[in-house]
Structure 1
Amino acid sequence: MVTDFIKQQKVFRPAVAMVELIFALVIMGIVLMSAPQLVSQAQSSGYVSTQQEAIAAASSHISFVLARHWDESNTDQTSGVTVLHTDTDTLAQNGLQSDDITRKRAGTPNVGIYHRTFRDSINGEFTASTPNTFGSRNDIDAGGGAETVNDDIDDFHNTEADLSFQNFVAGEDDYIDTRMVMNTQVRYIEDSPNNVARYDTNNDRLTFPLRDADFDGIADDLGRSSHVKYVRVVLTHDAAAGTPDDLNKSIVLEAFSCNIGEYKLEESDPL
């Protein structure tokens, strides 16, 4: 009896191995069927990563631009950063012109002598740059000489920042998105609610719509100076031969900066 039992065990062992093989083949088949989806998902994840890196680069650039002085007239540190006169101040219907006595803009609290005034501490008065001087090559610095550095917002108008790797060797270096170009546009936009319909009396809300007469997605250039500068950064990929379609992108970030001057630090009393 014992011998027969052992023989039966020897006979049935190959069958058990065959069942295990079938299960293994089924599992491998399921894995292989899902492999294309896994590859597609991995590619999509890589695309999202490159997009996020590009957005971060554009965001850093526009933050850098906004961190500069509002205008070239604000770069003279000896006189302080004041509110600048603009063409808007000459328009009687806007209600933003300064008071002749306090030199403060209408609606500004009368606190301090030079708080948000149109004159500096030495009674100097400055005006904002005209649109035709926008761009680092067209501007004149505070000392009257040619501009050498981009020290105010409008110096970045019509400039391009090329983000690329130096000494990049195609086929050897392991980089994908190697050529990003950021174009910066700066212009004056409407700053006055000169249309009564823009004032919501129920909610005490003023609306400043960006005019876009040609429907190109860009705020129209006002053609004169105002109290608001509009900054637009467009990041694209400088496509080359053999560039994957996933790298083609057009990322647009917009921001604005206002002519509000700058606070002045008080000197501490001597001990």
Structure 2
Amino acid sequence: MKKAMAMIELVFAIVIMGIAVMSLPLILTQVQNSNSFALRQEVILSLKTKLSYIMAYPWDENTYDSESNMERFLDIPNSNVTDADFNRSGLRRKGHVLADGRRRFRDDVNESTTKIDFGTVGIPLDIDDFDGITPETKNITNLDDFIFNVTLATHVFYISDRPSSGNYETNQSIDFIFNTTNPSQNRTNIKMIKVSATANGLENPISMYAFSSNIGQSKVAKRTW
């Protein structure tokens, strides 16, 4: 009886050990998947942080008006919407409020930076100064079982502001296709910021995009008495 019980116990032990050994690949795969997910999350967080940092800068180095201490919108001579939408003599876009501290051109009617000059640092620092800068490498150290470096590369483009049908001057309804895959070599009213991340453990780079428009700013309305 004791020998029989010992044999049954041995069989159970072998079965349990077999189940444990068979489960090891699944456990290792799950750990690997968890690490991969954590890696991607950390990369995405780094991308979002970088984009937020860049978006805090002025749209263009020529937008800032030191006399009024605010950002103005700029003339975009290559944009098909500029001639109809901007009033050079009145220094305003159509539809803008004619009042102090509201959106309008700078008095010198400055134009925006050309695409060929992106990446050339101006004063003040602006969004397109980040184009093609030396890729930034960040050390990610808050994962429990490994440390890795993520490299962030930044590029800035103009993208088309042309409506696919209608026009901004006479039509109440227009169709606009937001095309991010065909950057414009001419100046437009929209800048696209692309930040791409590469890291050990990522099969493919991860890219995120942000967009900033030539809209200037208005001063905060407040009582004058």
RMSD, matched Cα: 3.0
- Are 2:147 and 1:176 aligned? yes
Structure 2: unaligned runs, 5 residues or longer: none
Q: Which amino acid aligns with 2:87?
A: S
Q: Is the 8 A contact 1:235 1:252 kept in 2?
A: yes
2:155 to 182, 185, 206: 185
Question: How far off its partner does 1:88 sit?
Answer: 4.1
Q: Which amino acid aligns with 2:28?
A: V
What SS does the corresponding residue of 1:129 show, helix, strand or coil? coil
Q: Is the 8 A contact 1:75 1:152 kept in 2?
A: no
TM-score (norm 1): 0.68
- Are 2:122 and 1:140 aligned? yes
Q: How does 1:213-228 map to 2 (within 5 A)?
A: 218-220=181-183, 222-228=184-190
Question: How far off its partner does 1:16 sit?
Answer: 2.8
Structure 1: unaligned runs, 5 residues or longer: 1-11, 143-150, 169-173, 212-217, 240-245
1:210 to 174, 179, 182: 179
The count of corresponding residues between Structure 1 and Structure 2 is 216
Question: How far off its partner does 1:207 sit?
Answer: 1.7
> In structure 1, how many angstroms separate the alpha carbons of the residues matched to 2:85 and 2:78?
8
The higher relative CO (CA closer than 8 Å, separation ≥ 6) is in: 2
Q: Is the 8 A contact 1:198 1:207 kept in 2?
A: no
Question: How far off its partner does 1:36 sit?
Answer: 1.1
> In structure 2, how many angstroms separate the alpha carbons of the residues matched to 1:64 and 1:261?
19
- Are 2:46 and 1:84 aligned? no
Partner of 2:208: 253
Identical aligned residues as a percent: 29
TM-score (norm 2): 0.80
Q: How does 1:2-21 map to 2 (within 5 A)?
A: 12-21=1-10
2:45 to 46, 50, 56: 56
1:208-267 superposed Cα distances (whole Å, 9 cap, x missing partner): 3427xxxxxx432x2222211111111123x6xxxxxx3443111122110111120245
Q: Is the 8 A contact 2:74 2:111 kept in 1?
A: yes
Partner of 2:133: 159
Q: Is the 8 A contact 1:88 1:227 kept in 2?
A: no
**Greater per-residue strand proportion:** 2
1:58-110 superposed Cα distances (whole Å, 9 cap, x missing partner): 12111211111111013444332111111146x47873223644x3213x343
Partner of 1:125: 109
